Copies of this chain bind each other. A is one copy, B any other.
Amino acid sequence: MASGRLLVEILSIGDELLMGQTVNTNAAWMGHLLENEGWRVNRCVAVSDEEEAIVDALKDAESRAELVLITGGLGPTRDDITKHVLCQHFGTQLVRHPEIENRIVSWFERRGRPVLQVNRDQALLPQSCKPLDNPLGTASGMWFDRPGGVTVSMPGVPYEMEHIMEHGVIPAMRSQLELQGRLPKRGHMSLLTMGTGESQLALTLGDMEEELERGGIKLAYLPSPGSVRIRLTAEGEAVQQLAQAHAAVLDRLSDWVVSETGVPIDEALGQFLVSQGHTLAVAESCTGGALGAALVSRAGASAFFLGGVQCYSNAAKEQLLAVDGALISEFGAVSEEVAVAMAQGARKKFGADFGVSITGIAGPDGGSDLKPVGTVYMACEGPLGVMCVRHQFGRDRTRNLSMSVRAAAQLALKAAREWAIESKPASGVADSL
């Protein structure tokens, strides 16, 4: 193998990628993981399920890259031809692996589904490959040693591929590089900001960014709707300066930092509430449950999340959250008054420390001059009182809903932090305890 930084190419197989039926999230997921390892992704190519196209792109990739990662085309149907193409390419033939066949059979038995011959044939693998275990599906990964490097083929189902990457490919590749003394020393730290854009953040950092770069620490701005994640990457000796650099960036951007570790805002909220032993309930109108769904998407949510009411209709607001119908008549369902009453209702109904509400006009219809599409009110009531914010998002429904969820989590985190500061005993008293 070559020396220096490992060069990787990704080859995604499948007509559905070219026809835009499937977005190639696999390539992005792999790129992110490989970048974190300190390896370099040189090219990503998507080709159709055709032998000539696959072989052509594979030869091309192998001529440049030490590690070639192939995804897709390993299903049981006849349009999945990757395995046969690999046999041709590596001059080998399919052999049956009885232990893999047993695993496939029990995989179907556990699900109470019949095992067809095509499913059993998933245990046929090229003789020259080392199979990589796939406990989440029926198509094994395949590791081929070749002159100049390694080629790995994996199924295109994201979580199956991810498992094989994390448990098969990355550890094996790391061992090879370690033996060769080529494992790069590399560190990452992140932070998450909300409330301003990339260019304002860069302007605020000013010459700090260049200074860090001279010291071997690179900054990357990763914008999403409503937030910008900043990632610091150090290589070699600079790894030792990483924590200090991270602290300096946090300090400079303190007005906008919502998560010092860079975890998503809903995760940061959950972590903070758990650290304080506090609980939360939600009242969601336009988002229909998306804030609650985000909060429970990670394990351990029951330590802080009590539940909520999806009060999409006005009747639900009144009957389940005891929102005064007169408030809705007077100010409208999308108003500060109703947002506050919803938050209070959720807090009270669930006996939670914090109640968070969202009510807005997601669009595309329902807007007015005073409250155009994208108007969203959110409130958080806690032991100290209530906070309410009006946001004016855009015209896109999907984007408005996801922005609302993030902004509501941000508001709740702010309220929870303020209460934690206010309720903390003065340090003299704490010392004497």
Residues of A within 8 A of B (CB): 15-25, 27-35, 41-48, 53, 57, 75-79, 110-111, 113-114, 116, 118-119, 136, 157, 159, 196-200, 202-203, 220-223, 231, 282, 284, 286-293, 295-299, 301-302, 305-313, 315-316, 319-320, 349-351, 362-365, 392, 394, 396-399, 401
Contact = CB atoms under 8 A, between A and B. Distances in A.
A298 B286 CA distance: 11
A312 B305 contact: yes
22 contacts: A18-B41, A18-B42, A18-B44, A19-B31, A20-B30, A20-B33, A21-B222, A22-B28, A23-B24, A27-B46, A42-B48, A42-B53, A77-B198, A113-B197, A119-B199, A282-B310, A302-B312, A302-B313, A307-B310, A307-B312, A307-B320, A309-B310
Contact of A20 (B28, B43, B223, B296): B28
- The A contact surface, by secondary structure, is mixed
A289 B301 contact: no
Nearest to A33: B20
| 9 nearest CB pairs, A to B | A289-B289, A20-B32, A288-B296, A20-B31, A289-B292, A290-B293, A307-B316, A308-B310, A288-B292
Nearest to A31: B20
A116 B198 CA distance: 11
Contacts of A45: 43-46
A296 B291 CA distance: 13
Contacts of A308: 289, 309-310, 312
